[in-house]
Amino acid sequence: MSEYRHEYKYICSEQQLALIQNNIKGLMECDAHAGEDCQYRIRSLYFDDYCDSCMKDNINGNDPREKFRLRIYDHNLSYIRLELKRKERGKTKKTACVIDEALCRRILAGQPLAADAVDAPVYRKFCLWQQTRLLVPKVIVEYERVPYIYRDGNVRVTLDRNISSGSMITQFLDADIVTRPVMPLGQHVLEVKFDELIPDFLYTAVQLEKLRQTAYSKYYLCRKYSLAGGNRV
């Protein structure tokens, strides 16, 4: 994906998520990448510099702002994504490339990277930032996602439960890692993404007018949790 899109996040209770899922499951398709239960587990590793510039950009609402992350799905190490997420003028743009496990382990170990190891602009920019901004891995973010799509308007609604944070960076590729929940008990995140407009019937089904919108990213929530000494935010 390389186009700018609208992206909104909402804090929801389990009861709200269950109601929304019941409303939309007959109107939207389950993402083809999800399992039979329309769910997969996402694990991301976020990077920042020594000044925590990405986190401060999020807190201050700076525009534009960017951050890098590594991402795996259901612990599938044959499909590791390096992603750059950029937010500008209220919209988001995501560019990505796939890297192999060996290169991922080099990144985790902080070893020098060859700029031509992957033929992708996002990888070359990551190498540049690693050298000039001294990017380092900061926090692991893990959660369970139920993804729905509606092709007209490229609408995507995701229900993210059990958001947790991990600080053992070297365990990122391990099957089982130690994480701790960062949201108050029973609270989860709903994300709504679309190109230009969301159809009225989907807006009604998702009940957006009843939800509490948040500007903070999962990266911010997990870093805040970590810096607060493990207290839920």
Residue 160: give its domain's CATH number.
3.20.100.30
Residue 232 lies in a domain: no
Residue 75 lies in a domain: yes
Q: Classify 59 as helix, strand or coil.
A: helix
Residue 68 lies in a domain: yes
Q: What is the pTM of this model?
A: 0.92
Residue 203 lies in a domain: yes
Residue 193 is predicted with a pLDDT of: 95
Among 184, 164, 189, 172, which residue's Cα sits nearest to residue 47?
172
- Amino acid identity, position 168: M
Between the alpha carbon of residue 175 and those of residues 17, 29, 46, 170, 187, the distances in Å are 28, 29, 18, 12, 25
Total of domains in the chain: 1
Q: Which residue has the tokens 């612990």?
A: 75
Q: Could you give the CA distance from residue 9 to residue 14 in angstroms, rounded to a whole number? A: 15
Residue 91 lies in a domain: yes
Domain that includes residue 124, residue range: 5-227
Between the alpha carbon of residue 178 and those of residues 73, 141, 150, the distances in Å are 17, 11, 35
Please list the pLDDT of the chain residue by residue as tens digits (233 residues): 458 999 999 999 999 999 999 999 999 999 999 988 999 999 999 999 999 999 999 889 899 999 999 999 999 999 999 999 999 998 999 999 999 999 999 999 999 999 999 999 999 999 999 999 999 999 999 999 999 999 988 999 999 999 999 999 999 999 999 999 999 999 999 999 999 899 999 999 998 888 888 877 899 889 887 665 555 54
Residue 27 lies in a domain: yes
Residue 1 is predicted with a pLDDT of: 45
Residue 34 lies in a domain: yes
Residue 233 lies in a domain: no
Residue 227 structure tokens: 């810096």
